[in-house]
Amino acid sequence: MPIRSHYYLSIADLAKARGPVPALSFDGAGPDDLAVAVQDAMRTPALFERWRAMQDEPDDVDPALAVVDPAASASARVDDLRIDMDLITDLPMSIVRHRLNLLIGPSWQLRDMRKA
């Protein structure tokens, strides 16, 4: 049984929080838009499937990367000059990292992680 985790993330500059591939990248304007995009990326296979279709050999992509957590939740808020985000999911860090990198590139930082 997967372990439900609470990831505490921060994004220093939301205006620069964009992934390397525009077709997969976050394109919202505020913390609420970011939370919705991250939550959707964890709950549904849509972002993963778009990324997989862009690979040279889509059928060779490890199917374990397609796992989703329909109960994942994300919230984000402005704290001082950065965005703090809480993500609660049972997805492993490797999947969370991959999807965050697709959405917002290296703009995020894991500040803490605890059992949810």
pLDDT in the model for residue 81: 85
The single-letter DSSP state of residue 22 is T
Task: Give the pLDDT means over successive 10-residue stretches in the chain (116 positions).
Answer: 92 94 95 98 97 97 96 95 96 97 97 96
pLDDT in the model for residue 28: 92
Is this structure's pTM higher than 0.75?
A: yes
pLDDT in the model for residue 40: 98
pLDDT in the model for residue 23: 96
Q: How far is CA 87 from CA 6, 37, 52, in A?
A: 6, 12, 23
**Euclidean distance between CA atoms 55 and 74, whole angstroms:** 28
